[in-house]
């Protein structure tokens, strides 16, 4: 029997303009994420997601970049052995954009 799980995951993205890292995240080939917690219900995962604070930091190593720490809920289905079957749908992704301080 397969089990659907809603997994709270964190991930990093670098952008050149400090804006909307989600487009870049979904357009990059290998999405490297870190599992924070796994739940059977979406509501439980949403309750955990609010504990994460997204960040964005400016960097300049010869080239200007912005490093975003983001989080979201990924829906996946696993078989009875815990092996991934299908999924990859994302819910409630949170991120922060860079805002220049005056």
pLDDT of 41 higher than 80: yes
Task: Parse the chain into domains and list their residue ranges.
Answer: 3-94
DSSP summary character for residue 89: E
Average model confidence (pLDDT) across the chain? 93
What H or E segment, with its residue span, contains residue 15?
A: strand 3-15
pLDDT of 1 higher than 70: yes
Of 21-35, 61-75, 81-95, minimum mean pLDDT range: 21-35
Question: Residues 54-65: what's their mean pLDDT?
Answer: 93
pLDDT digits (tens, 9 = 90+) for 43-53: 999 999 999 99
Place of tokens 């400016």: 58
| C-beta of residue 90 within 8 angstroms of C-beta of residue 72 | yes
**Using 50, 70 and 90 to split pLDDT, how confident is the model at 102?**
low
């Amino acid at each position: 029997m397969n089990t659907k799980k809603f997994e709270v995951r964190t991930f990093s993205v670098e952008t050149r303009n400090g804006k909307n890292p989600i487009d870049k995240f979904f357009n990059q080939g290998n999405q490297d994420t870190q599992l924070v917690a796994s739940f059977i219900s979406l509501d439980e995962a949403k309750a955990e997601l609010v504990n994460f604070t997204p960040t964005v930091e400016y960097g300049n190593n010869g080239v200007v970049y912005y490093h975003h720490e983001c989080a979201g809920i990924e829906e996946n289905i696993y078989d009875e052995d815990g092996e991934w079957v299908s999924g990859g749908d994302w819910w409630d992704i949170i991120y922060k954009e860079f805002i220049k301080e005056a």
